[in-house]
Amino acid sequence: MSQEGQSVELQQIGENNEKPEFEPESNTGEAQASGTAGVEGTDNPAYTPQDDGPPVEDIPPPMTFVDFLPLLLESAESNNDTPMYAEFSTVLEQANQWLKGNPAFKAMKLESIIKKMADRDVVDLDQVVHHESTYGVNKYLRGLRLWLAPRLDSSEPVQEIGYLTTLPEPVDESNAEAVLSMFRPSRFRVGGGVPSYCGMNDMMLQLNKFLKKKPIPGSILNVETVKVKYDDQGSKCLDTEKMCWADCGKEDRIYIYAIRLYYVAGKPAFETLGYHDEIPVCINNWELVSKIRFCPFTQVVQRAKNWLKTQKGIRVVNMQTVEIFSDRTNKGEAKVHHDISGHGEAAGQDTQFARVLRLFFIQDSKSTECTYSALNLTTRLFIPSRHGQWGKNCETFSKTMQRVITWLQLTKTPIFGVETVNYQFSPDSYGTGVRENDASISLVATSGKYFITTVRLYFPCEFEEPDPELLPHEEEDQGWWACTVS
């Protein structure tokens, strides 16, 4: 794919035979179990329930994770500069090496994660709270998270994963429907030459044309939306392989959305994709001056459930929360720009977003079966516990995942989907510090912001909360299924 995003790039696996500087973990083969693994986009149970099974601590996890970061190539020369890291393709190669060395697991889903870098270009994957400076430089590093399930069928080949990434194509600026409305000169002072791009619908059409013309060598595992920083300096290019970038609150910032498709290598399955955005309903429409307020996120999930029940011939491969730029018309009507393939954040101006639930799916036009007619979609957000009633001192991400795994083992709830979601965090408030059911996001330009990393799970059925006494407490460290971090 050209840097301007005018075509689709197919990243072939195995092009680089040089082994990356990565050593697989030593827990190979620990997880073997009977039953069916919960796979993203299906309503299979996480594992077969047993009346008189082994103790919880002896049950393999229905889901866990492993993280990968790119190799640092060159440190930053100053606090305002960004370090140089290896490209995304090398990170995926690390993931493939890990899967080969850990055949007890298979990937349910691959997910891009973004971590803020601390001083001296340090990234702590286990840290869950970070602060974004109002006017200073904030540096970010993209990593790759593999959500894993037990590989129960030893006859299946170990997964080898490839990917392709597509960007929206530049379009004629006279096409008002396709132009990024956030680029209007009255709002932004970005240097000239910023192109206009087609919307998400057109980008998906172009991707499917490519898939029909040049089928991928395998079957689709999952698809995600990836936010790419627009570089208005120097080359003015969009580089989906770039893993590190910097933002400054005193400058305008523009981001473009790419679509990244992950596939398991094998015989071509000749699959095509679709997507559906479930948008939260505005509850204070036609108000000119007030901030936009949307319905609770649980209502968004329920609307997605109702939509899925009526769809024929589709198989969901990812559910992703996407923060979509929102504003009001001159008459006060709230607009969620979900088809626009990017957004901007103007220096010194508040910005509002809606938490949109984006469903990617494989579509079979010949099928008339409503795959999800009996689906009862539900969701639960797992928020890191605080050390104390308030403040920003929270448990690590690994500790949170220990609680998630124990929760799944106790409830035996099937997994329909999983994602990592960053929420605004209030250190001075009590409780979780998170408005977990809020689909409205307001970023105030004149104040710093805290964010916390959470895990959202989706289920194909109702669930019951287990006895809190059975869940891990802060002082407990159940290392038997501690999540591997690389």
Q: Residue 29 falls within a domain, yes or no?
A: no
Helices (H), 155-309: 200-213, 297-309
Average pLDDT over the chain reads 82
Looking at the DSSP assignment, which residues form a beta bridge with residue 396? none
- Answer yes or no: is 282 within a domain: yes
Q: Tell me which residue range forms the domain holding 208.
A: 9-14+34-467
Kindly indicate the confidence band of residue 3, based on its pLDDT and cuts at 50, 70 and 90.
Answer: very low
Residue length of the chain: 486
Q: Six-digit token pair at 320?
A: 């992703």
pLDDT at 38 over 50: no
Asked if residue 456 belongs to a domain, the reply is yes
Amino acid (1-letter code) at residue 139: K
The two tokens of residue 428 are: 């001075």
Q: Confirm whether 19 is domain-assigned.
A: no
Q: What is the largest CA-CA distance in the chain?
A: 68
What value, to the nearest 5°, has the Cα angle with vertex 235 and ends 229 and 241? 45
Q: Who contacts 426 (Cβ-Cβ below 8 Å, separation ≥6)?
A: 433, 434, 450
pTM of this prediction? 0.85
Q: How far apart are CA 285 and CA 279, in angstroms?
A: 14
Question: Residue 411 is inside which H or E element, if any?
Answer: helix 397-411
Report d(CA 467, CA 465) in Å as an integer. 7
Q: Compute the average pLDDT of residues 160-179.
A: 78
Instruction: Read off the pLDDT of each residue in 12-27 and give the average, rounded to a whole number.
Output: 37
182-206 confidence digits (pLDDT tens): 444 334 444 445 668 899 999 999 9
Q: What is the pLDDT of residue 426?
A: 92
Looking at per-residue confidence, does 121 or 142 come out higher? 142
Q: Which two tokens stand for residue 213?
A: 């013309």
3-class DSSP state for residue 119? helix
Rounded Cα distance, 20 and 389, in Å: 43
Tally the domains of the chain: 1
Average pLDDT over residues 141-163: 95
Neighbours of 172 (CB within 10 A): 9
pLDDT(106) > 90: yes
Q: Cα–Cα distance between 84 and 242 in angstroms, integer?
A: 9
DSSP 394: B
Q: What is the pLDDT of residue 36?
A: 29
Backbone phi, psi, residue 40, to 5°: -50, 130
For the residues 261-271, what does the mean pLDDT come to?
A: 97
Is residue 66 situated within a structural domain?
yes
Q: What is the dihedral of CA 118, 123, 125, 126, to 10 degrees?
A: -40
Q: Is residue 238 very low, low, confident or very high in pLDDT (cuts 50, 70, 90)?
A: confident
Q: Residue 478 falls within a domain, yes or no?
A: no
Q: Report the C-alpha gap between 81 and 70 in whole angstroms.
A: 18
The full DSSP string for 365-384 is: TT----TTTT---EEEEE-P
Confidence at residue 115, expressed as pLDDT on a 0 to 100 scale: 96
Question: Quick check: 338 and 283 in contact, CB under 8 A?
Answer: no
Residue 481 has pLDDT above 50, yes or no: no
Answer yes or no: is 480 within a domain.
no
| 8 touches 207 (CB < 8 A) | yes
Flag whether 397 is in a domain. Answer: yes
